[in-house]
């Protein structure tokens, strides 16, 4: 005999379950919100670390510091172990962890602290740190950094992967080289375009460059060109001000000499009239010979003074003409340099624009050949990690083939294990894994 359930009881049980479900959901809500908040904080931390590493100076960077009008204070400097540069007069100035503009301001403050009345300082990175490629590549080692360099191009520099089939390895190496050439040409085109815009602004007297909002890379390059434009404009205006001040001083001296010459000429005329009148008296016997000689001597002396003033006036006019010519030559030389650089830049842009379509076609052809030969070139087959300096502390990041490198990055390329292959492929979350010391201990 089976057990039966009363319909009313069944209804009450279903209602109880329905009422219990929302209370369980409310208990899960805090946990879900905490997980979401933790994820957002982690992403923000990583983005901030990458931004800081890309924009700030770090230990070992070689920088060129230019102090306008002070060649003894300008030159190349390397950030020492404490992140400082050893400047003449000002001594050691710590600039690690600062951007280029912040470092310029700190160096300027140090030079003006009892050494210079005013200082115009420009700082740029003279030599980028190399990248280090390790792991399952044919030629592990140190390679020079290039703007736009990504993991795929770095593996190509290291000779490609260590794979068993040599033909597949050759195809992949060709693809990597073709892809690197395409990216280098693209980066070169962006750089040359920004330089052309800056030169055109110098030619036309424009003070502010306008960035293309469609490309963040172009905006960063244009920011560097804007710094060059501002520095050269300040240098040119400073030199013009100095020459203009000298021209104004010589014009004042010329005006004073002209007035003195006019007065002396009047004095010569009066002395000549007095000498002539006294000669008449001396001829009739009413004047003394000694007085006559003195009057003629005064006349000769005033003539000599007039001649001297005329010589000084001529010298002042000559100096004024030379300064005016130098002022014109300054503008002419500046404009000639700008025009020549602009022509050269336009020619290089044409060459890159002609080469870029061919490079893209070659890269696409290599890519099709690799796919046809079923070569393993996907990020899912490789465990790629980058050890990068974030401020003064190193962090390790997961990466893929499209990840762009920064100066000083240490790239570790290894095949994924079976456990790693079961993970979700795709864009790697750039999350700090562990500090450099932890990475070394686990390897």
Residue 48's alpha-carbon distances to 81, 98, 334, in angstroms, are 24, 14, 41
- Per-residue pLDDT, averaged over 226-244, amounts to 85
Token representation of residue 28: 């899960």
| Residue pointed to by tokens 């946990």 | 31
Distance CA 35, CA 41 (A): 10
Distance CA 179, CA 293 (A): 100
Query: Does the pLDDT value for residue 131 go beyond 80?
Result: yes
For residue 142, the cross-strand partners are 132
- Per-residue pLDDT, averaged over 31-53, amounts to 53
**What integer best gives the mean pLDDT of the chain?**
75
C-alpha atoms less than 13 angstroms from C-alpha of 91 in its C-beta half-sphere: 2
Give the model's pLDDT for residue 237: 82
pLDDT band with cut points at 50, 70 and 90 for residue 41: low
CB 358 within 8 A of CB 180: no
Sequential DSSP letters for 382-412:
EEEEEEEEETTEEEEEEE-TTPBP-TT-EEE
**Of all residues in the chain, what percent carry a pLDDT higher than 90?**
8
- Per-residue pLDDT, averaged over 333-338, amounts to 87
Q: Name the pairing type of β-strands 131-135 and 141-143.
A: antiparallel
Q: What is the pLDDT of residues 382-434, one digit of tens each?
A: 788 999 876 567 788 888 888 888 888 899 887 665 433 333 333 333 333 33
Query: Does the pLDDT value for residue 47 go beyond 90?
Result: no
Distance CA 125, CA 147 (A): 13
Q: What is the pLDDT of residues 145-198, one digit of tens each?
A: 887 888 888 888 888 776 444 456 677 788 888 899 999 999 899 899 889 989
pTM above 0.85, yes or no: no
| Residue pointed to by tokens 């004024």 | 320
DSSP assigned state of 425: P
CA angle 214, 220, 222 (to 5 degrees): 85
SS3 37: helix
Give the CATH class of 56-127: alpha beta
Distance CA 388, CA 131 (A): 10
Q: Name the pairing type of β-strands 91-94 and 121-127.
A: unpaired
Q: Where are the domains of the chain?
A: 56-127, 133-163+380-415, 169-376
| Residue 236 CB neighbour total at 10 angstroms | 14
Q: Name the pairing type of β-strands 121-127 and 62-67.
A: antiparallel
Give the model's pLDDT for residue 386: 92
Q: What is the pLDDT of residues 2-33, one digit of tens each?
A: 444 444 444 444 444 444 444 454 555 666 66
- Per-residue pLDDT, averaged over 230-247, amounts to 84
Which residues, including other chains, have CB under 8 Å from residue 131's CB and lie 6 or more apart? 142, 143, 144, 145, 149, 154, 405, 407, 408, 409, 410, 411
CB 95 within 8 A of CB 106: yes
Give the model's pLDDT for residue 351: 92
Give the model's pLDDT for residue 132: 92
């Amino acid at each position: 005999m089976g057990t039966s359930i009363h319909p009313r009881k069944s209804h009450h049980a279903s209602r109880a379950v329905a009422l219990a479900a929302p209370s369980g959901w409310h208990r899960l809500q805090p946990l879900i919100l905490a997980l979401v908040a933790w994820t957002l904080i982690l992403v923000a931390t990583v983005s901030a670390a990458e931004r800081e590493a890309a924009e700030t100076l770090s230990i070992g960077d070689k920088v060129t510091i230019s102090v306008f009008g002070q060649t003894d204070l300008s030159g190349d400097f390397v950030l020492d172990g404490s992140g400082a540069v050893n400047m003449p007069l000002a001594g050691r100035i710590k600039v690690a962890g600062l951007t280029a503009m912040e470092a310029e301001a700190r160096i300027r403050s140090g030079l003006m602290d009892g050494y210079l009345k005013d200082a115009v300082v420009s700082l740029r990175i003279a030599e980028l740190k190399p990248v280090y490629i390790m792991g399952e590549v044919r030629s592990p080692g140190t390679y020079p950094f290039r703007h736009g360099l990504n993991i795929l191009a770095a593996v190509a520099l290291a000779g490609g992967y260590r794979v068993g089939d040599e033909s597949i390895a050759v195809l992949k190496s060709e693809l990597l080289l073709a892809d690197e050439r395409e990216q280098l040409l693209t980066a070169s085109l962006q750089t040359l375009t920004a330089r052309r815009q800056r030169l055109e602004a110098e030619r036309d007297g424009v003070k502010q460059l306008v960035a293309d909002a469609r490309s963040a890379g172009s905006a960063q390059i244009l920011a560097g060109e804007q710094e060059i434009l501002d520095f050269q404009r300040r240098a040119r205006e400073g030199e013009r001000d100095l020459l203009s001040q000298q021209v104004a001083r010589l014009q004042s001296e010329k005006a004073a000499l002209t007035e003195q010459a006019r007065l002396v000429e009047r004095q010569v005329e009066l002395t000549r009239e007095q000498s002539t009148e006294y000669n008449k008296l001396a001829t009739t016997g009413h004047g003394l010979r000694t007085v006559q000689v003195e009057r003629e001597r005064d006349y000769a002396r005033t003539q000599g003074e007039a001649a001297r003033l005329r010589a000084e006036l001529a010298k002042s006019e000559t100096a004024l003409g030379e300064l005016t010519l130098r002022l014109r030559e300054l503008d002419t030389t500046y404009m000639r340099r700008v025009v020549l650089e602009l022509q050269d830049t336009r020619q290089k842009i044409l060459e890159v624009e002609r080469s870029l379509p061919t490079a893209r076609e070659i890269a696409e052809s290599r890519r099709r050949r690799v796919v046809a030969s079923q070569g393993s070139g996907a990020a899912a087959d490789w465990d790629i990690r980058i050890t990068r300096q974030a401020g003064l502390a190193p962090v390790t990041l997961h990466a893929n083939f499209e990840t762009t490198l920064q100066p000083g990055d240490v790239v570790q390329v290894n095949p994924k294990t079976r456990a790693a292959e079961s993970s979700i492929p795709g864009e790697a979350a750039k999350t700090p894994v562990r500090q450099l010391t932890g990475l070394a201990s686990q390897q």
